[in-house]
Amino acid sequence: MSTPETDTTKPSTTYITTPIYYVNDRPHIGHCYTTLVADVLARFHRLLGNDVFFLTGTDEHAEKVVTSAKAHDMTAQQWADHNAARFREAFQFMQFSNDDFVRTSEDRHKLRASAYIQRLVDQGDIELGDYEGWWDASQEEYVPENTAREHDYKSPVTKKPLEKRVEQNYFFRLDKYEDWLRAMIEEKRIEVLPEQRKNEVLGRIKQGLQKVPVSRKIKDGDEDWGIRMPNDPDHRVYVWIEALCNYLTVVDNAHPACDTSKAEGDRRTYWPKSGQGASNVVHFMAKDILWFHAVIWPAMLHALSETPPTTVYAHAYWVAEGVKMSKSLGNFIELDDLKAYADRYSLDAVRWYLITQGPLGATDADFAYKRFVEVYNADLANGIGNCASRVGNMIAKYFDGKIQDWQILEHFNIEVDGETVLRTPPRGRAVPLAQSISNLINENKIGDLLLSAKSAIRIIDQFLSDTAPFKLAKDPSKLQEVHSILYQAAESIRIVSLAYFPTMPEKMAQLWRNWNCTHLNDPNDIESGFVAPLMELAQWAGPYGLKPGQQISKGDALFMRADVNAESPAATKPD
């Protein structure tokens, strides 16, 4: 067996973040998707035995939160509380394994973010000046003149008219960091992914960087909501600038501004200061907010003498049945839609569909009911589900569900076009798949990894069809061969199931319970942790492999086949 490949170029400590979401409205598929991508990556890291910290949360100090709160007859805080709870509930429903959930209205965030801003002011990285620009109220950001002109002075995202604003503001001297940023991104010391997005960012940096406004003067009658400039309480910190700070405030628990280190442990290991250790810091988001994460935030960190993120990953968008989702069209795929799909097909099937069909790359992806059913039947009901049942049923039927203490054969004779050829078992696919996980995960290649897991299942299925144990079993002299075939298939499925676990933890835990596999500390609790790191769990017939005497029970099917003619569950979901 070849030795496991491990990527020694990257540290194993990993910090994974999602955007913090605006609480002006409820969560939808987009929020769930980015958080799912982060969740799956975090679960892969845990499976590898890496130390990982996964953060998500809510961004609360936006003007649109105030406006929307008023429309609901609530204070901004009340409305933020209401919607932050909906995000938490949504993420629990999706079974995300985030280690913390930050809200920017919390003291730990406000105190530390103010302290960072004060330091930037003291150092001269933030200074006072006049600003005149095109304000996109729906996105809470200024749009550069050329972009505003290109879009006919309408929001490039929501198409609402832009507002001309002139104000005295504090500015962050982003211009000072142009050369540094360009070099960092070109040399992949900050890796911007996918490649196409990196090229867009570099192209925009090359047009020149200007100072960016970081505050807004408070007007009479404004609700007291947000963080004030620590050096000038007449100004409020621009929501984007303090929101970005969340990634650091949550792990910076040694900061004198707020000592909560006892409750939280030492989280600085997840994002050490330069020279004080190493960690992969991975920010996930969609393409809409890449600029803030790939340019403004790294420059702020550099100015604060903090390490920049290792990876900034901006996926594309979901659209719904071929149409861009928008409020005016009312065609958002809502949490309730996902719940209705989960109700019919299982939550893990929803997670699988989103991850494998979603916009992980630079191209938008379509959420379409027909495609969901196709993928569900092909990958799950007829894929891993059927493959595992075939093997489980045959072990039950021919061996009373017990792995025998017999020698396991490695080669099998099969007939192809009337000739006898030697067929090797799928172990040659399953073991290298497990060995490749570390490298693929370090490169954030979740899509490629799941594709190879899927193709490994197809190969196991083909092996069963080629060797036809169900025919051989009719001849009692062939039982050792039948047992070997089934062992080879079952042990391969067990190893491949480890690669499926991060996306479909409930279903894989169900399979492991059926087969009495001891991968988890508590077989009934997917969050109980693995008993050993992946390379030990995945060892062929190793300490956690299928062994003589192990009872394989058929159990319930993992995925029932879906009726392609049924109506979409979203169409029949309750109000």
Q: Could you list the residues that contact ligand ME8 (CB under 6 A)?
A: 19-22, 30-31, 33-34, 59, 243-244, 285-286, 288-289, 317-318, 325
What is the DSSP pairing of strand 100-103 with strand 191-193? unpaired
Q: What gap in Å lies between CA 145 and CA 348, rounded to an integer?
A: 45
Give me 172's structure tokens: 């962050």
CB nearer to ligand ME8: pick between 317 and 398: 317
Q: What gap in Å lies between CA 70 and CA 89, rounded to an integer?
A: 23
CB nearer to ligand ME8: pick between 335 and 498: 335
Check if the beta carbon of residue 174 is closer than 8 Å to that of residue 299: yes
CB nearer to ligand ME8: pick between 247 and 501: 247
CB nearer to ligand ME8: pick between 135 and 399: 135
CA dihedral 71, 74, 80, 83 (to 10 degrees): -70
Closest CB 317 distance from ligand ME8, rounded Å: 4
Phi-psi region for residue 59, left (φ > 0), alpha (ψ -120 to 50) or beta?
beta
Q: What gap in Å lies between CA 535 and CA 441, rounded to an integer?
A: 14
Closest CB 384 distance from ligand ME8, rounded Å: 26
CB nearer to ligand ME8: pick between 20 and 453: 20
Closest CB 360 distance from ligand ME8, rounded Å: 10
Give first-to-last CA distance, the chain, whole Å: 55
From the number of C-beta atoms within 10 Å of its C-beta (0-12, 13-18, 19+), residue 421 rates as exposed
Closest CB 92 distance from ligand ME8, rounded Å: 18
Q: What gap in Å lies between CA 84 and CA 394, rounded to an integer?
A: 49
Closest CB 169 distance from ligand ME8, rounded Å: 20
Closest CB 116 distance from ligand ME8, rounded Å: 14
**DSSP for residue 13:** -
Largest CA distance in the chain: 91
Give the helix/strand (H/E) hosting 167. Answer: strand 163-172
Nearest to 111 by CA among 262, 257, 242, 245: 257
Closest CB 365 distance from ligand ME8, rounded Å: 8
CB nearer to ligand ME8: pick between 12 and 17: 17
CB nearer to ligand ME8: pick between 79 and 412: 79
Closest CB 371 distance from ligand ME8, rounded Å: 16
Closest CB 325 distance from ligand ME8, rounded Å: 5
Closest CB 249 distance from ligand ME8, rounded Å: 11
Closest CB 163 distance from ligand ME8, rounded Å: 19
Q: What gap in Å lies between CA 390 and CA 384, rounded to an integer?
A: 10
What is the DSSP pairing of strand 141-143 with strand 126-136? antiparallel
Give the helix/strand (H/E) hosting 57. Answer: strand 52-59
From the number of C-beta atoms within 10 Å of its C-beta (0-12, 13-18, 19+), residue 266 rates as exposed
CB nearer to ligand ME8: pick between 21 and 101: 21
Angle at 483 between CA 481 and CA 487, to 5 degrees: 120
Q: What gap in Å lies between CA 437 and CA 392, rounded to an integer?
A: 26
Q: What gap in Å lies between CA 459 and CA 300, rounded to an integer?
A: 49
Q: What gap in Å lies between CA 35 and CA 92, rounded to an integer?
A: 11
CB nearer to ligand ME8: pick between 83 and 510: 83
Closest CB 228 distance from ligand ME8, rounded Å: 19
Instruction: Name the closest residue to ligand ME8 (Cβ).
Output: 30
CB nearer to ligand ME8: pick between 93 and 317: 317
Count CB atoms within 10 A of the CB of residue 480. 14
In DSSP notation, 442-491 reads: HTT-HHHHHHHHHHHHHHHHHHHHHH-HHHHTTSGGGHHHHHHHHHHHHH
Closest CB 59 distance from ligand ME8, rounded Å: 3
CB nearer to ligand ME8: pick between 155 and 497: 155
CB nearer to ligand ME8: pick between 19 and 226: 19
Backbone torsions φ then ψ of 98, nearest 5 degrees = -60, 140
CB nearer to ligand ME8: pick between 298 and 401: 298
